[in-house]
Amino acid sequence: MEINNNQLLRFTTAGSVDDGKSTLIGRLLFDSKSIFEDQLESVTNTSAKKGHDGVDLALFTDGLKDEREQGITIDVAYRYFTTPKRKFIIADTPGHIQYTRNMVTGASTANAALILIDARHGVIEQTKRHSFIASLLNIPHLIVCINKMDLVDFSEERYNEIIGQFEEFSSKLLVKDVRFVPMSALLGDNVVNRSQNMGWYGGGTLLSILETLHISSDINKIDARFPVQTVLRPQSNDHRDYRGYAGRVASGIYRKGDEIAVLPSGFTSRIKSINAGENEIDEAFAPMSIAITLEDDIDVSRGDMIVKRNNQPEGEQEFDVMLCWLNNDAAKPRAKYTVMHASNEQRAMIKDIIYKIDINTYNRNTEDKALSMNDIARVRIRTTHRLMLDSYRDNRNTGSIILIDENTNETVAAGMII
Amino acid sequence: MSKYYLNYLDELESEAIFILREVWAQFENPVILFSGGKDSILVTHLAKKAFYPSKIPFPLMHVDTGHNFPETIEFRDDLIESLGAKLIVGSVQESIDNGRVAEEKGKNATRNALQITTLLDAIEANKVDCAIGGGRRDEEKARAKERFFSHRNDFGEWDPKNQRPELWNLLNGKHYEGEHFRAFPISNWTEMDVWNYIKRENISIPSLYFAHEREVVFRNNSWIPVSEYLKLEKGEKIEKKKIRFRTLGDITITGGIESDADTLDKIADEVSTMRKTERGDRSDDKRSETAMEDRKKQGYF
């Protein structure tokens, strides 16, 4: 399949087994012809063994042994399909309450989130939870899939009622772009193919929406941020004096000749050259992986950030984040953690838990100071040295952190800078 | 370039380069696990880009089962020479000779499972703390949950329930002495993406991927190449066919398909119309429905 200039779109799916999420993904893969013969054969056999009529589409997204035995999904699974218009990466996350952590993980790099609603039940607490997480993670596009329309007689009235329910609570959320699609994943209505049963619906199918979402503006192209990953110093005669700063542009655009500052030191210089692999180029933008050389011989190393002289992030040692706790062991007050931010690492301490959020009601609780698995709270963090911070709303790549437990080395929390 | 967005191949390339550089920055002794197959050749090509104008700053490591296609070994040695890289070889034959593992018996005996011990021994002997592999999440359902940085305990085991969450572009490679990581820079690539990229970059790959005349035997729905290790079963006969291989494993278990695709363009076209997953011809995955998962847990890729 030749795909010219077609972009990569990442989306995440939230919903539980009961909403028909696995069936929806199976339907997307099946109707977009992304299922192979041997996969189909294996699923057909399994369906027959289980006594299902026809092919159980949900089986395409079945993963590990434990899950197949228990009939649940654990953790984030990634799936792929390509159409002539785009390549898609699905971060498929389980929808049970104890899996907030997985949804946050899957959502962190998504351009779009699919929120599944069972048309019979309408908006339920779980819908609010998923929408809240999508909003917290600043996912640019939200697609509300009102599924199982076949079980409510494809009723337009019911569909509008659910949109009403959704809009009532979602006005408090910060999502820029929300779409609604009435569908039946089981029968295939409005997933890839247009529904014959819902002539009253004038919008696009789920796939056509995914293929046409405007995602070029999802990455910040205004504020130039270049976290240095590593320094390239070849030991060869041809490149004796080469010092290249290698990394991936987190946001913005860099051009040869730009006046830059290196943070935290504050030294200034100009961009002498930009390389993408063996090719020298005149400009680079997010999310390109490049190597930059500077006119002046200044000290730059991993963890530093190269920015434009006239547009610099805040250097902070103490800052507030919305933190999602991801670990079985609860947060320890005043315990030391390692914080990772862009390419930088520091030791950090949780100074204060300001309030916890009830993700069903959005109420703030200032009394409860315990942070355990799946909790989301506003906390104050203090680090040993300054970090070059942007707010997460402005910049997902330089506005996000993770905390690592120094004893277990596990990633225990994800934070979004306020 | 004027539009300020990347096409999907450039984005995948940029992501893979980012991960390779992150491995180099976070680990002491990384290696690229090199099998001579297209995925590990691709990873090596990306590593060359990631560190240019420096040479790839870490060795390539090949677990040699002793049952390789001769073409694979020849290709490996030429590539190493052109890169000026260092090669570490872990030998399954040596593991057998030292009594670390025993040769499988029976009709479908392979050295596939034996690789695990050899690989883990080589990792330990060379103090490798991160082994970079060409694994892709679309290959097999057990890989769909794999992380970019995949933690292994001090027995080299992978526990699907104990993988660290990976958010944004923040990769946590912290570990204790004796533990190691596997890193998968091309996690998000599909077989089609790999071929499109190989075509675009004009990367050389072993001749086995291109259709050619070869002596083969029809077994388990695919064409197994004739080699000194192949024992003919009753009713099987050697035939000459024009075939190509979609993946390169051991010569004893890798099945070819009948094909006329003898150029990169033709292969890419063939793959895009293929209705079978590429590992569908690997008999090692077919032994049971969870074969890959079970082997991963023991420390396979």
Residue A50 distance to chain B (closest CA, Å) = 15
Listed by number, the residues of chain A in 120-159 with a beta carbon closer than 8 Å to a beta carbon of chain B are none
Residue A4: which pLDDT band, with cuts at 50, 70 and 90? low
Of B1, B11, B165, nearest to A8 by CB-CB distance is B11
- Taking the Cβ of residue A396 and every Cβ of chain B, the question of whether any pair is shorter than 8 Å is answered with yes
Best mutation target among A25, A32, A38, A279 (most B Cβ atoms within 10 Å) is A38
* pLDDT tens profile A51-75: 766 677 777 666 545 555 554 445 7
Of A4, A105, A247, nearest to B166 by CB-CB distance is A105
pLDDT score, position B33: 93
Instruction: Give the mean pLDDT of B233-245.
Output: 88
pLDDT score, position B277: 60
Of B14, B174, B280, nearest to A288 by CB-CB distance is B14
Residue A66 distance to chain B (closest CA, Å) = 10
Q: Which of A323-327, B102-106, B218-222 has the lowest mean pLDDT?
A: B102-106
User: Which residue did the predictor score with more confidence, A207 or A41?
Assistant: A207
pLDDT score, position A402: 97
HEC assignment per residue over chain A: CCCCCCCEEEEEEECCHHHCHHHHHHHHHHHCCCCCHHHHHHHHHHHHHHCCCCCCHHHHHCCCHHHHHHCCCCCCEEEEEECCCCEEEEEECCCCHHHHHHHHHHHCCCCEEEEEEECCCCCCHHHHHHHHHHHHCCCCEEEEEEECHHHHCCCHHHHHHHHHHHHHHHCCCCCCEEEEEECECCCCECCCECCCCCCCCCCCCHHHHHHHCCCCCCCCCCCCEEECCEEECCCCHHHCCCCEEEEECCECEEECCCEEEEECCCCEEEEEEEEECCEEECEEECCCEEEEEECCCCCCCCCCEEEECCECCEEEEEEEEEEEECCCCCCCCCCEEEEEECCEEEEEEEEEEEEEECCCCCCEECCCCCCCCCCEEEEEEEEEEEEEECCCCCCCCCCEEEEEECCCCCEEEEEEEC
* pLDDT tens profile A14-31: 776 677 888 888 889 888
- pTM of the entire predicted model: 0.90
Instruction: Give the mean pLDDT of B189-204.
Output: 92
* pLDDT tens profile B144-170: 888 899 988 777 777 766 678 899 999
Find chain A residues with C-beta within 8 A of B193's C-beta: 87
pLDDT score, position A63: 53
Residue A403 distance to chain B (closest CA, Å) = 10
Residue A376: which pLDDT band, with cuts at 50, 70 and 90? very high
* pLDDT tens profile A166-198: 999 888 788 879 999 999 999 999 999 999 999
Residue A204: which pLDDT band, with cuts at 50, 70 and 90? very high
Report residue B255: phi and psi, to 5°. -95, 140
Interchain pair A404, B1: CB under 8 A: no
* pLDDT tens profile B11-56: 999 999 999 999 999 999 999 999 888 999 999 999 999 999 999 9
Residue A1: which pLDDT band, with cuts at 50, 70 and 90? very low
Instruction: Give the mean pLDDT of A260-265.
Output: 96
In terms of average pLDDT, the best of A84-88, A100-104, A147-151 is A147-151
Interchain pair B53, A411: CB under 8 A: no
pLDDT score, position A17: 63
